[in-house]
Amino acid sequence: MLLSLIVWLPAIFGVIAYLSGERRSKHVTLLGAVLDLVLALYLSVSFNWSEAYRMQFTEVYPWIRMFGVSYKLSVDGLSMTLVLLTTILFVSSALGSMRIIKERNALYNLLLMVLQTGILGVFVSMDLFIFFLFWEVELIPMYFLIAIWGSENRRYAAIKFFIFTHIGSLLMFFTFIFIHLKYFWTTGIRTFDYSTLTAAEGYMPLTLAKILCSLLIIGYLIKVPSVPLHTWLPDAHVEAPSPISVILAGLLLKTGGYGILRMGYGLFPKAAASISTWIAGLGALSLFYASLVAISQINLKRLVAYSSIAHMGVFLVGIGSHTVIGWVGAMFMMFSHGLINGMLFNMCGFYKYRFHSYDIPILKGFTKAMPISSAFLVFGGMASLGLPGLSGFPAEFFSFMGAFKAFGYVAIPLIAGLLLNAAYNLWMIQRMIFGEQRYEDEAEDLVVTEIVALLIPSAFIILLGVYPAPLAELYRVVALNMIG
């Protein structure tokens, strides 16, 4: 029952928030998000870490017997940490929304909480059909959150987001149905159960499995996103309200990454292994391309958006290495990038609220007026460039270890990608923080809710940077089991 409670609690609170009116809805939402975080912490404490590869807290109820659909929720180590990440970021996002969202609060909070239910559902469902349902459930609130509360060009960005990601989910659904039918034709059993269908690859020739697996992974690569399927992301991020960008970068991209691992490699272990090199190549391409583009940005939010693509490129390199250590790095990257970019996007929102712009030339020069905010920005930038001692470092380190192990000398140029990564972050900090001070008293520093919104992810960033061992060990157990 614990997983169902965690998944559905936000939606229930969303409805309560909607009914409690414009003014109180924010507080109800925050309460719901915090309660969910507490539940997720309880889940991670009672989770058996040493057997993280095993599915735990399983609940199964048959739903539509006719099609073999059952409501099955379960978590292994990977899912459990992503549930934790989701609840952390939603608390952060709810806090960040407090001042930024000024109109139609009730509806906003309803959609936000439904979105949380959708994302949590993706991470814990172990029935392909339910997985697909939750996957669709996240799209619709996201569309409206961008289209209603976004900035000037929001409609274009929202529809672009919807079309891109919907194509991805159709590719996914098509493969799911195919696997389902293939299993049905071979064994006579109609089922969408994940752990049963992992056998389906054995029932088809490797070429077919490769085609299906590629379609599936392309669907997820749209969401990750990887160059050249990334073009929806900068638009969506810049137009979305910042607390939503937190979710978009921190979690929606992770559902794509999670999909590659859970479904791509889980359902087609052999086929996916054979196309791993391609995934790593796309990852490297993303890393270089997005870092170069990020350097040339003058829009702070666009810069952070491209840094997301670059970091997910590192994630793909880790996955594509198809080694245990690479996977540890990749999973670590999902968790760490969610925290870091979630934090940075929240800050973009705080600046926009004060200066009505995301452009670095307009923002810069507030260090004296806003010391707390400046400290957080420096911290976020350092975390993003992978400073040792913060959570970004082990993520990148393990990913590249995997790449060196798998590809040898070919992987050495990737180091240059890290340099680019450092370059745009440092230059951003330099332009924003140092130099001529243009604001005195008129710029108000962060208020308590905003500081808490940033402190929560920061605490985890430091914790995981200083002491990555437990999480890395957890991921090692999971990866070892999946790669075998």
What does the binding site for another protein look like in residue numbers (CB under 8 A)?
Answer: 64-67, 132-133, 136-137, 140, 144, 147-148, 155, 159, 162-163, 166-167, 170, 174, 177, 181
Measured distance CA(319)–CA(277) in Å, rounded: 9
Angle (deg, nearest 10), helices 300-321 and 324-355: 170
Contacts (Cβ under 8 Å, ≥6 apart) of 307: 290, 291, 294, 341, 344, 384, 421, 424, 425
Q: Give whichever of 167 and 480 is closer to another protein, judged by the CB atom.
A: 167
In this structure, are residues 30 and 91 in contact, taking their beta carbons and an 8 Å threshold?
yes
Q: Give whichever of 177 and 387 is closer to another protein, judged by the CB atom.
A: 177
Q: Give whichever of 67 and 467 is closer to another protein, judged by the CB atom.
A: 67
Minimum gap (Å) between residue 319 Cβ and another protein? 28
Minimum gap (Å) between residue 50 Cβ and another protein? 37
DSSP one-letter string for 316-362: HHHHHHTSHHHHHHHHHHHHHHHHHHHHHHHHHHHHHHHHS--BHHH
Q: Give whichever of 168 and 338 is closer to another protein, judged by the CB atom.
A: 168
Q: Give whichever of 31 and 167 is closer to another protein, judged by the CB atom.
A: 167
Minimum gap (Å) between residue 133 Cβ and another protein? 5
Amino acid symbol at 317: V
Minimum gap (Å) between residue 83 Cβ and another protein? 22
- CB half-sphere exposure, 274, CA atoms < 13 A: 12
Minimum gap (Å) between residue 4 Cβ and another protein? 15
Minimum gap (Å) between residue 137 Cβ and another protein? 8
Q: Give whichever of 155 and 368 is closer to another protein, judged by the CB atom.
A: 155
Minimum gap (Å) between residue 136 Cβ and another protein? 5
> Which residue in 301, 397, 302, 392 sits closest to 349, CA to CA?
301
Measure Cα distances from 176 to 57, 83, 182, 250 in Å.
24, 23, 10, 26
Pair of tokens at residue 177: 């149905």
Q: Give whichever of 103 and 442 is closer to another protein, judged by the CB atom.
A: 103
